[in-house]
Amino acid sequence: MAAQGAIASRGGLRSALPLLAPAYLWLTVAIFLPLSAMVFFSFMTELPLSGKPWAFTLGNYAAFFSQGLYLTLLLASLRLGLEVTLWCILIGYPAAYVLAKVLKGRSREAIFLLVILPFWSNGLVRIFSWAMVLREGGILDTALNAVLPFKINIDLMYSYPAVIIGLVHSYVPYMVLTCYLTLQAIDDSLIEAGRSLGASRLQVLKRVIIPLSMPGLVAGAALIFVPVVGSFMEPRILGGRTGTFYGTVIEDQFVAVFNWPLGAALSFILLAVVLVILALAAPVLRRAA
Amino acid sequence: MAGVQVSNVSRSFGAHKALDDVSIDFADGGFYALLGPSGSGKTTLLRQIAGFDFPDSGRISIGGESVERVPVEKRRIGMVFQNYALFPNMSVADNVAFGLSVRGEAKAVIATEVQRALDLVQLGKLGGRRPHQLSGGQRQRVALARAIVTKPRVLLLDEPLGALDKALRVDMQIELKRIQREIGITTIFVTHDQEEALTMSDRIGILRDGRLVQEGPPEEIYDRPKSEFAATFLGDANIFRGDTTGNGIRLPDGTAIAAGAGAKLAAGAKASCAVRPERIRIATDAGAPDTANANMLKGQVSKRIFAGNNSTYFVERAGQTLKVIVQNTGADRLAEGQDVVLRWSPESTVLIAAG
Ligand SMILES: Nc1ncnc2c1ncn2[C@@H]1O[C@H](COP(=O)(O)OP(=O)(O)O)[C@@H](O)[C@H]1O
Ligand SMILES: [Mg+2]
């Protein structure tokens, strides 16, 4: 069986080569080369393009370990990634469940469109819309004060919750989509079989549906966690002074301070940490799935 | 254990009546087959009893109490699905243990009960496998073990053998019947296979377009079908249509066909007569008058199909093709093209009102 599969895939690979070649060529040019250049930069004292004399150094990596600030920010970013991922699961999974198992036909298409909509809007527009909603005297503040009999002050702008809200809004569609795909593949008769055996809806959810949709949850979590840990746009615009995270510091090195070597080194440290986390999580998640 | 009463149950999907005023009394401990063509409402009826779907009107009770407000998980039913519906994320043993485990039984109790159920379906050694490592017949047995291990009051089976090949299906029919007898559980078995319904059940209900056409013991439905549909759906039948003469009919060409004593319909109306192919005797000449087999028709053999223990003759007569089944006694066989005389008794003839 396995041997047969190997032979089939080797034959398949040779005939698939012409199809794969353009993609790999593109990946090489567009990602691998710049990435190699970045690895190279991260070991330099100065950017060679700047005209100043330069030398090889480990100092950029050492900076991460010598200054506690970077580690603190990295931990804050990891926590941000974790929180955003959890919120995306809490919001996205039920939405995906309703889409896959409750709604049918037209209403499913309509709701699906609403879920995908943030995907299609420009990221900056999305973030600045939230700024209008969340600030003092903004839409949320005005609306709540119009309804509630007592006066409250809602000013979420430039706060940690604002960053969370903006990021969750941007990334929740990933969770909805990946979970929707796995949930839709679960046969309804499995749910009915569980119920007929005496399990409540909640027990069926816990013992059958969630284990079977684990691959979707894991894929969604990975798709969200990794970019959120390195995110800088939402923290900067919605977080203001509280929005300093690992990603914003990296961005600073590239666009403000022009210390590309340090920015590159910090990026690769982040990449390494994320890969280690994913590698550690993999066996646990595989067992759960 | 408990019987199930379905009283005047109707269920529509949009304008389509999937169930139309169906009433059936499923006896405690009985094996009942729901038979009908695809789309006749069999699954819909089963789902009302299970509680996956709810009737627009009518009542369902299990063990004498109405289950109108009882959710699926409280109805204490066992269900076997056509596609088995085994949980792919669990081992065979965990699948079978599921019902006991959600009920919070002790681990030791679960282990013994699961083993007993797996032994009952002769899969005692396969508890550690995953469903995808089993054959179709084995999956079917696991589904059955899982459904009965919780000691449900009623066992509902939706075309459970439909996906199996013929030989395996016959094995499973015998097996299923043995298990049902052993635990004496009220069983409602949905099938579109008439042979399966005849051989397995104590009672059969025939559904058509959401209506219960006829119900009763297999012998009764086979011998005294009340409609052309029942006659042709359960077994084979030759149908003659004509005008009633009271206890028989007159065919358009004037030939009279007499039905058994007790058959009575107002003379003059349209009606039909049904005769089973194996009740007709076939001969090459009329011979002496035969008062016992008073019905007589002449025809010509157009085709013969030899099936080992019997032969089926197709006989052309006045534009109609009749079927006659003759046991293989080693006597002379009739050739195609041969003129023949068909005879059968009024007692073998069922008079059916038109409509
Ligand atoms: N959920 C549903 N929505 C719409 N129509 C349905 C639904 N369930 C069943 N039907 C219709 O009801 C009729 C009976 O279906 P079913 O009970 O599944 O038939 P059977 O099991 O006898 O093949 C069919 O015409 C089917 O299309
Ligand atoms: Mg069906």
Q: Tell me what pLDDT residue A9 has.
A: 55
For A2-23, write each residue's pLDDT tens digit.
Answer: 444 444 555 677 888 888 888 8
Q: Tell me what pLDDT residue A123 has.
A: 82
Please list every residue in chain B whose beta carbon sits closer than 8 Å to the beta carbon of residue A211: 89
Q: Using CA positions, which residue lies closest to atom 5 of ligand 1?
A: B13
Please list every residue in chain B whose beta carbon sits closer than 8 Å to the beta carbon of residue A105: none
Q: How far apart are CA B154 and CA B53, in angstroms?
A: 17
Calculate how far, in angstroms, residue B41's C-alpha sits from the geometric centre of ligand 1.
Answer: 6
Question: Is A202's pLDDT higher than 60?
Answer: yes
Strand order in the sheet with B281-283: B281-283, B339-344, B295-306, B310-317, B320-327
Please list every residue in chain A whose beta carbon sits closer than 8 Å to the beta carbon of residue B156: 196
Query: Nearest-CA neighbor of B237 among B220, B250, B222, B253?
Result: B222
Every domain of chain A and the residues it spans: 60-288
Interface with A, mutate which of B13, B47, B98 (most A CBs under 10 A): B98
Q: Which of B78, B86, B103 sits opposite A196 (nearest CB)?
A: B78
Please list every residue in chain B whose beta carbon sits closer than 8 Å to the beta carbon of residue A200: 73, 102
CA distances B219 to B36, B234, B323, Å, are: 17, 10, 21
Cβ of B85 and A211 within 8 Å?
no
> Which of A279 and A286 is assigned the larger pLDDT?
A279
> B237-353 — its CATH code?
2.40.50.100
Question: From B151, which residue of chain A is nearest by alpha-carbon distance?
Answer: A197
**Bridge partners for B322 per DSSP:** B315
Contact residues, A window 156-195, toward B, CB-based 8 Å cutoff? 187, 189-190, 192-195
What average pLDDT does the segment A16-43 reach? 89
Q: Tell me what pLDDT residue A289 has.
A: 56
Q: Taking CB atoms and a 6 Å cutoff, what residues make up the pocket around ligand 1? A: B 13, 16, 18, 36, 38-44
Cβ of B81 and A207 within 8 Å?
no
H-helix or E-strand spanning residue A181: helix A160-184
Question: Is B29's pLDDT higher than 60?
Answer: yes
Q: Any idea what the Cα angle at residue B38 is, between residues B35 and B42, rounded to 5°?
A: 50
Calculate how far, in angstroms, residue A92's C-alpha sits from the geometric centre of ligand 1.
Answer: 32
- What is the pLDDT confidence band of residue B241, given thresholds at 50, 70 and 90? very high
Amino acid at residue number B221:
I
Q: Tell me what pLDDT residue A1 has.
A: 39
Question: Is B355's pLDDT higher than 70?
Answer: no
Calculate how far, in angstroms, residue A212's C-alpha sits from the geometric centre of ligand 2.
Answer: 26
Question: Is B278's pLDDT higher than 50?
Answer: yes
Cβ of B79 and A194 within 8 Å?
no
Q: Any idea what the Cα angle at residue A263 is, between residues A165 and A32, rounded to 5°?
A: 95
Q: Tell me what pLDDT residue B263 has.
A: 66
Q: Which of A190, A198, A203 sits opposite B85 (nearest CB)?
A: A190
Q: Tell me what pLDDT residue B296 has.
A: 93
* CATH class of the region B4-223: alpha beta
Q: Which of A194, A196, A211 sits opposite B77 (nearest CB)?
A: A196
> Which of A134 and B127 is assigned the larger pLDDT?
B127
At A250, list the tokens.
């990296």
The ipTM is 0.85
Stated pTM of the model: 0.84
CATH value of A60-288 in 1.10.3720.10, 1.10.287.620, 1.20.58.1610, 3.30.43.10:
1.10.3720.10
For B264-276, write each residue's pLDDT tens digit.
Answer: 777 778 899 999 9
Calculate how far, in angstroms, residue B277's C-alpha sits from the geometric centre of ligand 2.
Answer: 30
Q: Using CA positions, which residue lies closest to atom 21 of ligand 1?
A: B43
Q: How far apart are CA B70 and CA B76, in angstroms?
A: 10
Query: Nearest-CA neighbor of B157 among B113, B129, B190?
Result: B190
Atom number of ligand 1 nearest to Cα B44: 17
Q: Which of A187, A197, A200 sits opposite B98 (nearest CB)?
A: A197
Q: Tell me what pLDDT residue A7 has.
A: 46
For B110-124, write each residue's pLDDT tens digit.
Answer: 999 999 999 999 899
Q: Tell me what pLDDT residue A86 has.
A: 98
Please list every residue in chain A whose beta carbon sits closer than 8 Å to the beta carbon of residue B87: 190, 193-194, 208
Query: Nearest-CA neighbor of B273 among B252, B248, B302?
Result: B248
Atom number of ligand 1 nearest to Cα B47: 17
- Of A65-69, A118-122, B52-56, B335-339, give the lowest mean pLDDT range: A118-122
Q: Tell me what pLDDT residue A2 has.
A: 42
What average pLDDT does the segment A147-165 reach? 87
Q: Tell me what pLDDT residue A5 has.
A: 45
DSSP state letters, A45-76:
SS-GGG-S---B-SHHHHHHHH-HHHHHHHHH
Every domain of chain B and the residues it spans: 4-223, 237-353
Q: Rounded mean pLDDT of chain A?
A: 88
Question: From B73, which residue of chain A is nearest by alpha-carbon distance?
Answer: A198
Q: How far apart are CA A203 and CA B318, in angstroms?
A: 66
Please list every residue in chain B whose beta carbon sits closer than 8 Å to the beta carbon of residue A187: 83, 85
For A68-114, write each residue's pLDDT tens digit.
Answer: 999 999 999 999 999 999 999 999 999 999 999 999 888 888 888 88
Q: Which of B83, B150, B156 sits opposite A197 (nearest CB)?
A: B150
- What is the pLDDT confidence band of residue B216, given thresholds at 50, 70 and 90? very high
A86 contacts chain B (CB < 8 A): no
Cβ of B78 and A195 within 8 Å?
no
Q: Rounded mean pLDDT of chain B?
A: 92
- What is the pLDDT confidence band of residue A132, given thresholds at 50, 70 and 90? confident
Q: Tell me what pLDDT residue A138 has.
A: 83
Handedness of CA A10, A14, A19, A22 (dihedral sign): positive
What average pLDDT does the segment A228-252 reach? 92
DSSP secondary structure code for residue A106 in this structure: H
